A = this chain, B = another copy of it.
Amino acid sequence: MPNTKVTSQDVARAAGVSQPTVSRVFTPGVKVSAALEDKVKTAARELGYRPNTLARSLITGQSMTIGLIVAYLDNPFYTEALEKLSKTLKERGYNIMIFMAANHASDVDGVVHDLLDHQVDGIILASVSASSALTERLLEEAVPLILFNRGHSDKTLSSVTSANHAGGKKVAEFLVAGGHERIAHISGWQGASTGFDRCEGLKEGLADHGLTPHAIVDGLFSREAAAAAARGLFSGGPAPDAIFVGNDHMAFAVIEVLRNELGLEPGKDVSIVGYDDVAMSAWSTFELTTVRQPANRMVDAVVEQLIAQIEGNAPDARHIEIDGPLIIRGSARIPKGWSA
């Protein structure tokens, strides 16, 4: 019947061995004779001993903890990613210390310092960016940092994104093939590579067919801004016949404005295309045609690269782009010859 804190010393005393022997039993990859191992393990079980991770980390220099900073948790894409990230890192033996951050660089910097104080082995920045002062500091500390779904001008930072530029281009091809002539774009925040690259891809894809966007409005990754932008597009002047929205989260708001305020039915009166393919996009209410960001593969890539950098197998930064298909549903007119 154990009471308070039981240490490796206590187990050693109970098993009649030394403290280092107890430590060796609980350290994978270290040999101990079967007889002693058995004695130690039974003693440990009876006392309810479990190694103190803090003390272990202090001496090994490995906390087996990854810092995760995330914004935009109202966008379900990040919720799905977080869930997968948690599972994958746990399988690799790592724990997650999580922080929500506003998207101001100053806020992020402060949080990163908190994480560094906790001796995290690596840091994942999901949908937020880092200041250059910060990345400098990280290089000094030799703590790997990787960006998830966000690029960075500083190429010494690793990042994992979907093929945003190619994705935007795919949407252009699809909408042009569908015979649309006034293709508008409610973009993601242009201050983020994610929003910017998708927009550039769309423009390039349209240009290939001698077209230009009917209109471009920054939706700032916000439902409210996107809804306002949608209203603006249909008030005065020629209306668009298709809208590419910078992510699904905003696209849902746009669909609601069209359907419930303007009386326009997506897929019939106007075509809507999103980006992400979150679970909600498949709901019968939305049936959203969208570019899939393969969250699973993106998470796998993030974990793989981050651990490689932590273990020193890949000290050089990499910029990984993961391609995703266009998922065709009912929210946009389907060109002849394309299958849903």
Contacts and interface: CB of A to CB of B under 8 A. Distances in A.
11 contacts: A52-B58, A54-B57, A54-B119, A65-B118, A74-B83, A79-B79, A83-B100, A95-B97, A95-B114, A252-B283, A256-B284
A259 to B, nearest CB: 8
Interface in A33-90: 48, 50-55, 57-58, 63, 65, 73-74, 76, 79-80, 82-83, 86-87, 90
A320 interface: no
Interface in A231-273: 252, 256, 259-261
Contacts of A279: 74
Interface residues of A, number: 49
B50 A54 contact: no
Given A54-B54, A63-B54, A90 B86 contact: no
A298 to B, nearest CB: 17
Contacts of A100: 82-83, 86-87
A284 to B, nearest CB: 4
A228 interface: no
A313 to B, nearest CB: 20
Contact of A54 (B87, B96, B118, B141): B118
A65 B63 CA distance: 14
A98 interface: yes
A132 interface: no
A210 interface: no
A215 interface: no
Nearest to A56: B117
A140 B3 contact: yes
Interface in A122-160: 137, 140-142
Best-buried of A54, A86, A87, A140 by chain B (most CB within 10 Å): A54
A27 interface: no
Contact of A285 (B86, B87, B118, B256): B256
A2 interface: yes
Interface in A85-120: 86-87, 90, 95-100, 113-114, 116-119
Given A96-B98, A256-B283, A256-B285, 9 more contacts: A50-B113, A50-B117, A52-B58, A65-B97, A73-B79, A76-B79, A95-B99, A260-B285, A285-B285
A4 interface: yes
Nearest to A111: B90
A117 B53 contact: yes
Contacts of A65: 97, 118
A117 B74 contact: no
Nearest to A96: B98
A3 B58 CA distance: 19
A82 to B, nearest CB: 7
B99 A97 contact: no
B95 A118 contact: yes
A89 to B, nearest CB: 10
Given A86-B100, A100-B86, A119 B57 contact: no
A129 B166 CA distance: 45
A119 B48 CA distance: 15
A4 B142 contact: yes
A140 B5 CA distance: 9
